[in-house]
Amino acid sequence: MVRLLRLGTLHGPMQQPWRYKYLEALYQRRLEAGPEQPRFRSAFTNWNYEAELYACTHRFGENIHTDVLRRALTDASFMKQVVEQRAEAGLDQVERSMLPVSDNEELARRGEEIASHYIKQVLRYWYPKFPEEGIEAVTAFLLSETTVAYISERLGFKTIIRCDTPVPRPATMKNALMAFIGAINESSDQQRAEAFTADFILTHLVGKDINEIWHISNPMGLLSKILEANGRQPAESRLIWATGVSSVLSTYVVGVYSGKEFLGKNYGNTIALAEEMAARDALRRYFETSEERAPIPFDKLKHMNFTSRLKP
């Protein structure tokens, strides 16, 4: 804007025409060059991997040995790349495979085992009536590649992972975080690894509804099964209210009852929809996972003993 306004004046870009043309040319060349290619963070001058590893252990208040942490942050793709480079350099088979560090596959597997076990324990403890299938689904969501890669990126692992691409793949990001949990387990103990899981992975549930994470395809069928198993009367849907039946904004309220006992109710634009939603509401009430349920007490998890109230 300023440039346009001052174009014909003494103070504008035409004051020094050669400079104006020179900068224009530079600008055009920059546009032609296109966007900058992503680079490894380690390619920059201000990079000291030892210092980064030291900072990484202290960031989370963990006491991990540097060698274990180095192993946890080394991806399989990096090792593969090193072997290829050695082959190109003309080293023989024995020298190629003699590497000072191994990759993080083993640690990642152990870390995922611990995290999965712990998350299931907490969910079973806090939602004792929630079925096992649902707990499996929520655990799978929390340990999915998308979720864990997001958490891993936001915890600063993106730059300190050693892998073959400047921008790590989601699978690499996930492996690094899981291997970090494994490394805590190896250096300290399992309690600390579990506390890390609680603080960074389980807190991803904040603001999310676990009923939506576990999608039930046929809620009425499940409700009937549960009632049958408990020896109660079969579920029966009854229309409670209806408004604007002949209009576009029709609303039906359907309640689900077992005999004279109220199970749940919900709204819908059609009766079928309202019935399905009512069945979902009944299930929520039965599982005790409705919206007004207190959230998981993240600050008290480390003092809890889950083994005493475990399901058989």
Instruction: List residues binding other proteins (CB under 8 A).
Output: 1, 4-5, 45-48, 51-52, 54-55, 58-61, 151, 153-156, 158-159, 195, 198-200, 202-204, 206, 240-241, 243, 251, 253, 267, 291-292, 298-299
CA atoms within a 13 Å half-sphere pointing along the CA-CB vector of 140: 9
Rounded to a whole number of angstroms, the minimum distance from the CB of residue 291 to other proteins is: 7
Comparison of 61 and 259: residue with beta carbon closer to other proteins: 61
Closer to other proteins by CB, 68 or 227: give it. Answer: 68
Angle at 69 between CA 65 and CA 75, to 5 degrees: 160
Q: Rank residues 5 and 23 by Cβ distance to other proteins and give the closer one.
A: 5
- Which CB sits closer to other proteins, 68 or 253? 253
Instruction: Kindly tell me which of 55 and 272 has the beta carbon lying closer to other proteins.
Output: 55
- Residue with the two structure tokens 């003092």: 303
Q: Least distance (Å) from other proteins to the CB of residue 122?
A: 12
Amino acid found at 253? V
Rounded least distance, CB 134 to other proteins, Å? 23
What is the spatial distance between Cα 59 and Cα 310, in angstroms, rounded to a whole number? Answer: 33
- DSSP string for residues in 118-153: HHHHHHHHHSTTS-HHHHHHHHHHHTSHHHHHHHHH
Lookup: tokens for 11: 């103070």
How large is the angle between the packed helices 190-200 and 105-126, nearest 10 degrees? 70
Beta strands 235-243 and 261-268: pairing type? Answer: unpaired
- Cα–Cα distance measured from residue 297 to residue 302, given in angstroms and rounded to the nearest whole number: 10
Residue 51: CB minimum distance to other proteins, A: 5
Shortest gap between Cβ of 150 and other proteins (angstroms)?
9
Beta bridge partners of 242: 252
CB of 46 to other proteins, least distance (A): 4
Residue 48 or 144 with smaller CB distance to other proteins: 48
CB 107 within 8 A of CB 179: yes
DSSP state of 74: B
